[in-house]
């Protein structure tokens, strides 16, 4: 099975005709959608519900944009460890700057309930079990405006820029905003597909602590088949989006429990459901489980990179889109009537993030995701 690709062009073209920047009314929007576009929105919501993942093609996000970003991050991660540690901000829970390898701890390593669940899965669907913290680096870069007043200041901290990278801010901001724009379109389409107002999700995302969070995994050092770069886990944010990595290795689990290797076509983006979306839909969408492991296909890509004298750092161009820290998350609209709704009590999104981190007694050492 392969994930279908949703082309956003049709919705973007129609939304440009229907919506003006000053129009805050959503009541007529859903009514004016043609059947084909409405069916596309229904398909987006169905795929997110059934698989927890979605491949999209956004004409505003080119393969060249992704390559430019990957080139810069490969150059950064290839710097000596001492250089990179100058951008470390452990006192801010690693929510900005660099997170060194050996810091992020996968849930599957410490969550006893999760370990019990994994042991009951069919062998072919079981994830790889890590033996310790993830051997990868990560860089957190905030994207978008932050609130002037917030109860969760550490989740809205100022960005960190490494020396010797004059293109850093422009490259990070450009790619980050492009991916946020793509997520907002998907969020609108999903809301329509779920029978909610078009801005049901995007209105809650305004001034959220969105983070561009690329990972760097050294395949020169850790390029052995079976090495776990990111242990089995879900993302605690709203939606996660990735550009195509130059090295395969991402596995996801469908709602049915089936394990599936993800293949992202050139020029496409991968979106995954996070725990905040699960909260807002009263469990209709489940946070998607996933892992990153060195596979035979990874090693084939490593050999090809060696032949071409390219970098052996596996970089993921990952962005975490969040609900605003001070906004309340709870089942929306008809999802409030779901029999599972009571499992998702109202709380501020920032409080939810802190509870997720504290729940495994590793606040400050476990980030949103590990893809």
Which residue, 58, 54, 61, is CA-closest to 271? 54
Quick: pLDDT tens for 101-122.
998 888 788 888 888 888 899 9
Three-state DSSP at 96 gives coil
CA atoms within a 13 Å half-sphere pointing along the CA-CB vector of 318: 24
Task: Dump strand ranges (E) for the chain.
Answer: 5-7, 53-57, 97-99, 137-142, 211-212, 215-218, 228-233, 239-242, 250-253, 259-261, 269-273, 289-293, 313-316, 318-321, 328-329, 347-348
* Residue in the structure block whose two tokens are 């886990």: 233
Return d(Cα 144, Cα 319) in angstroms, integer.
12
CB 371 within 8 A of CB 272: yes
Q: Are the beta carbons of 29 and 198 closer than 8 angstroms?
A: yes
Cα gap 179→158, rounded to integer Å: 20
Buried b (16+ CB within 10 A) or exposed e, 215-229: bbbbbeebbeeebbb
Confidence of residue 68 (pLDDT cuts 50, 70, 90): very high
What pTM was computed for the model?
A: 0.91
Collect all residues with Cβ–Cβ distance below 8 Å to 286 and sequence separation of at least 6: 52, 255, 273, 278
Provide the pLDDT confidence category of residue 34 given band limits of 50, 70 and 90.
Answer: confident
Give tens-digit pLDDT for 70-107: 999 999 999 999 999 999 998 877 878 999 999 888 87
Helix pair angle (9-18, 35-51), 10° resolution:
130
Alpha helices in 123-208 (DSSP H): 168-193, 202-205
Return the pLDDT at 16. Answer: 76
pLDDT score for 343: 96
Of 173, 202, 155, which Cα lies nearest the Cα of 368? 155
């Amino acid at each position: 099975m392969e994930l279908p690709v949703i082309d956003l062009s049709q919705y973007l073209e129609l939304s440009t005709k229907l919506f003006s920047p000053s129009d805050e009314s959503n009541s007529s929007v859903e009514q004016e959608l043609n059947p084909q576009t409405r069916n596309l929105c229904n398909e987006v919501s169905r795929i997110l519900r059934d698989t927890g993942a979605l491949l999209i093609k956004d004409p505003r996000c080119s393969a060249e944009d992704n390559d430019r970003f990957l080139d810069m991050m490969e150059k950064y991660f290839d710097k000596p460890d001492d250089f990179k540690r100058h951008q470390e901000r452990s006192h801010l829970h690693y929510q900005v700057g660099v997170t060194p390898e050996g810091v992020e701890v996968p849930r599957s390593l410490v969550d006893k309930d999760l370990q019990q669940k994994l042991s009951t899965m069919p062998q072919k669907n079981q994830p790889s079990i890590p033996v310790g913290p993830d051997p990868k680096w990560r860089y957190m870069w905030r994207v978008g405006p932050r609130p002037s007043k917030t109860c969760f200041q550490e989740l809205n901290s100022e960005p960190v820029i490494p020396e010797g990278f004059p293109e850093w801010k422009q490259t990070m901001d450009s790619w980050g905003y492009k991916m946020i724009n793509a997520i907002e379109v998907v969020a609108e389409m999903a809301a329509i597909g779920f029978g909610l107002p078009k801005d049901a999700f995007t209105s809650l995302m305004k001034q959220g602590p969105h983070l561009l969070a690329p990972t760097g995994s050294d395949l020169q050092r850790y390029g052995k088949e079976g090495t776990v770069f990111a242990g089995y886990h879900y993302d605690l944010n709203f939606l996660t989006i990735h550009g195509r990595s130059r090295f395969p290795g991402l596995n996801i689990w469908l709602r049915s429990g089936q394990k599936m290797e993800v293949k992202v076509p050139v020029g496409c983006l991968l979106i995954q459901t996070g725990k905040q979306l699960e909260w807002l839909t009263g469990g209709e969408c489940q946070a998607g489980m996933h892992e990153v492991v060195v596979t035979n296909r990874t090693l084939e890509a490593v050999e090809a990179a060696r032949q071409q004298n390219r970098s052996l750092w596996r970089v993921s161009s990952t962005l975490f889109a969040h609900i605003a820290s001070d906004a309340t998350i709870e089942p929306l609209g008809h999802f409030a009537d779901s029999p599972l709704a009571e499992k998702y009590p109202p709380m501020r999104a920032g409080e939810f993030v802190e509870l997720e981190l504290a729940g495994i007694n590793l606040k400050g050492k476990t980030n949103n995701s590990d893809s």
